[in-house]
Amino acid sequence: MTATATTGPVDPTTTDAWQRLAALAEGFSPDLRGWFAADPGRAERLTFDAADLHVDLSKGLVDADVLAALVALSEEVGLAERRDAMFRGDHVNVTEDRAVLHTALRLPADASLVVDGTDVVPEVHEVLRRVYDFAERVRSGAWTGVTGQRIRTVVNIGIGGSDLGPVMAYEALAPYRHAEIECRFISNIDPTDAATTLAGLDPESTLFIVSSKTFGTLETLTNARLCKAWLLEQLGSGVDEKAAIEKHFVAVSTALDKVADFGIDPANAFGFWDWVGGRYSVDSAIGTSLVVAIGPERFAEFLAGMHAMDEHFRTTDTASNVPALMGLLNIWYADFLGAQTHAVLPYSQLLHRFPAYLQQLTMESNGKGVRWDGTPVTTETGEVFWGEPGTNGQHAFYQLIHQSTRLIPADFIAFANPAYPLRDGETDVHELFLANFLAQTRALAFGKTADEVRAEGTAEAIVPARVFTGNRPTASIVAADLTPSVLGQLIALYEHITFTQGVVWGIDSFDQWGVELGKQLAVQISPAIAGDAEVAAQQDPSTRALIDYYRAHRR
Ligand code: F6P
């Protein structure tokens, strides 16, 4: 049985596999100590390679029966068919009637993919060529500001997917950045964001990239106007306004007409397509600031890494398909074992924005209460994703992961090599760092029994407080180095994990209607804040009182 647009999604709870999983969950008594002791092949059997990622799922709360039932579930809900439909360009984004083709953004130039009558690959590579050309000119100094200065700072103005991907990747790939060009990012409509980001910048050597898929996002357009005013004011009255905008503003959008209305030369605009979702767009022209930072060659490696993971997901059997398995395990944890959140814990300071990036990817995609045919979901959906890099998290919230009453599956991400070479004779701090990653996953899996605590001479009264139950599930994702390609693989891994979960739940993982109401109300409330008594009177008592408070306290 598979889902089609006419029949709607399969209700996962009606499948045989779901019933089997429910029965398995009933008496489920995880015992990682026992499982590893009884089965010397467990670690090897549950460790998989996907492109350059080496992924150990053996410290997960899964046995052979659960795994078999999860794979069966994927078959009964039609994961492979839905995946193929996405890669093919079918309109799997049903509520917006669109194809979902972020995977086409990383196809090699000699590939071909005809969607709605057009081969999209040449278009993708034509935009890439223009972005690369622009980036090269900025990097070499051939592109100058209106006064002839070369560009030293690139400021990306965008929010959500038009910010989180570029800033996360810019941070992650810091060792690959151009030494003389800095990128900064403005996203929040809190005027503090623009003020602090622009502080100290030299307007003559600053270039703005206005990144907005729709070019209608209030935050981005407001910040773009602020930056335009800042630039013109800072450059002084002697400068030709039109020329200044032309030399200091470029745009990335699917709405090139609106870009022109803003005053940006269409020749300095890079387009993309409605089949690229915002949170899936770092590999489109939305990544232009990243291309400037790391250069076209490294960006091409980033895309190739994503493509390698796409191919793994597209062609590998579910039983050894890493994104599919990780997505299915998440279903097991969330729908059968009661997990409500999922931690992502990179043992890499460079990945410090990765959890924030994943929050949009996972929660904007799967935080839904209805399925793609409009019927209510039949299961719990959309875990809360969160995290911080190790080891900082260890000294903050790991207490709860180790000893609380909650089950928090956690993904650990680590690299064999440090991002920056050690100096001669220096202590190998990276080894100390990795020891922490290994220690944490071991402690979470195997815990510490009361007898072990007692054997250390602990007073009986505090033995219970020092016991670690263990059996707290983790996945370990490791690679040799955090290269552009490996970063691309990590991103694509999580995209496909998210997709897998969405298919099981029957969700359209590519719309985001839940962000609309707040946007509409902000526009509606705005006049009341500015003093319109009539609009204020239309608000509910709580909102009205808060507006009154604001007006009484605003200087
Ligand atoms: O409001 C949510 C959202 O639409 C995200 O999905 C998107 O990434 C973000 O806003 C920014 O949108 P845009 O790129 O169109 O400015």
Please tell me whether residues 58 and 111 are part of one structural domain: no
What's the CATH code of the domain at 168?
A: 3.40.50.10490
Which residue has a Cα nearest atom 1 of ligand 1? Answer: 515
Please give the Cα distance from 101 to 248 (Å, whole number): 31
Cα 528 to averaged position of ligand 1 atoms, centre (Å): 26
Residue in 164, 272, 365, 515 to alter for ligand 1 test, most ligand atoms within 8 A of Cβ: 515
pLDDT tens digits, residue range 48-60? Answer: 999 999 999 999 9
Q: How does 512-545 read in b/e, with b if 16+ C-beta sit within 10 Å? A: beeeeeeeeeeeebeebeeeeeebbeebeeeeee
Cα 69 to averaged position of ligand 1 atoms, centre (Å): 37
- The pLDDT of residue 7 is 78
Show which residues are catalytic.
Answer: 364, 395, 519
- Which spans in 263-393 are helix H? 288-294, 296-315, 322-331, 354-359, 365-366
Pocket lining: 162 vs ligand 1, CB cutoff 6 Å: yes
Residue 20 CB partners (closer than 8 Å, separation 6+): 65, 69, 72
Cα 424 to averaged position of ligand 1 atoms, centre (Å): 47
Percent of the chain with pLDDT over 90: 94
Read off the pLDDT of each residue in 487-510 and give the average, rounded to a whole number. Answer: 98
Judged against a pLDDT cut of 80, whether residue 4 lies above it is answered with no
Cα 360 to averaged position of ligand 1 atoms, centre (Å): 10
Read off the pLDDT of each residue in 351-370 and give the average, rounded to a whole number. Answer: 98
Please tell me whether residues 227 and 210 are part of one structural domain: yes
Which residue has a Cα nearest atom 6 of ligand 1? Answer: 278
Give the position, in ligand 1's atom list, of the atom nearest the Cα of 515. Answer: 1
| CA 534, chain centre distance (Å) | 42
Please tell me whether residues 273 and 338 are part of one structural domain: no
Domain end residue (candidates: 298, 325, 341): 298
Judged against a pLDDT cut of 80, whether residue 187 lies above it is answered with yes
Please tell me whether residues 231 and 371 are part of one structural domain: no
Range in 260-274, 394-408, 470-484 the model is least confident about: 260-274
61 in any annotated domain: yes
201 in any annotated domain: yes
pLDDT tens digits, residue range 189-201? Answer: 999 999 999 999 9
- DSSP string of 104-167? GGGS-TT---EETTEEHHHHHHHHHHHHHHHHHHHHHT-SB-TTSPBP-EEEEE--GGGTHHHH
Q: Work out the pLDDT band at 106, boundaries 50, 70, 90.
A: very high
Which residue has a Cα nearest atom 2 of ligand 1? Answer: 515
pTM, two decimals, is: 0.97
Residue in 214, 221, 254, 272 to alter for ligand 1 test, most ligand atoms within 8 A of Cβ: 214
- The pLDDT of residue 1 is 39
Judged against a pLDDT cut of 80, whether residue 5 lies above it is answered with no
Please tell me whether residues 335 and 463 are part of one structural domain: yes
- Residue of 301, 333, 290 whose CA lies nearest to 497: 333
Residue in 93, 157, 162 to alter for ligand 1 test, most ligand atoms within 8 A of Cβ: 162
Which residue has a Cα nearest atom 10 of ligand 1? Answer: 160
Which helix (H) or strand (E) covers residue 251, if one does?
A: strand 249-253
Pocket lining: 214 vs ligand 1, CB cutoff 6 Å: yes
Pocket lining: 212 vs ligand 1, CB cutoff 6 Å: yes
Cα 163 to averaged position of ligand 1 atoms, centre (Å): 9
Which residue has a Cα nearest atom 9 of ligand 1? Answer: 160
Read off the pLDDT of each residue in 6-28 and give the average, rounded to a whole number. Answer: 94
Give the position, in ligand 1's atom list, of the atom nearest the Cα of 219. Answer: 16
413 in any annotated domain: yes
Pocket lining: 279 vs ligand 1, CB cutoff 6 Å: yes
Percent of the chain with pLDDT over 70: 99
User: What is the count of structural domains for the chain?
Assistant: 3
DSSP 236: -
Residue in 217, 276, 283 to alter for ligand 1 test, most ligand atoms within 8 A of Cβ: 217
393 in any annotated domain: yes
Give the position, in ligand 1's atom list, of the atom nearest the Cα of 286. Answer: 14
Please tell me whether residues 338 and 244 are part of one structural domain: no
Please tell me whether residues 282 and 351 are part of one structural domain: no
Please tell me whether residues 256 and 127 are part of one structural domain: yes
Q: Work out the pLDDT band at 6, boundaries 50, 70, 90.
A: low
Please tell me whether residues 467 and 522 are part of one structural domain: no
Cα 311 to averaged position of ligand 1 atoms, centre (Å): 27
Q: Which domain holds residue 154?
A: 106-298
223 in any annotated domain: yes
| Stronger pLDDT, 116 or 164, i.e. the higher one | 164
209 in any annotated domain: yes
- The pLDDT of residue 3 is 47
Cα 394 to averaged position of ligand 1 atoms, centre (Å): 33
410 in any annotated domain: yes
Please tell me whether residues 498 and 518 are part of one structural domain: no
Cα 162 to averaged position of ligand 1 atoms, centre (Å): 7
The residues that bridge with 251 in the sheet, in sequence order, are 210, 269
5 in any annotated domain: no
Please tell me whether residues 126 and 185 are part of one structural domain: yes
Pocket lining: 512 vs ligand 1, CB cutoff 6 Å: yes
CA distances from 459 to 290, 422, 450, 454, 516 (A): 56, 43, 11, 7, 57
Please give the Cα distance from 372 to 8 (Å, whole number): 7
- The pLDDT of residue 2 is 43
Pocket lining: 159 vs ligand 1, CB cutoff 6 Å: yes
Judged against a pLDDT cut of 50, whether residue 204 lies above it is answered with yes
Q: If you average pLDDT over every residue of the chain, what do you get?
A: 96
Which residue has a Cα nearest atom 16 of ligand 1? Answer: 212
Give the position, in ligand 1's atom list, of the atom nearest the Cα of 161. Answer: 8
Please tell me whether residues 113 and 262 are part of one structural domain: yes
Pocket lining: 213 vs ligand 1, CB cutoff 6 Å: yes
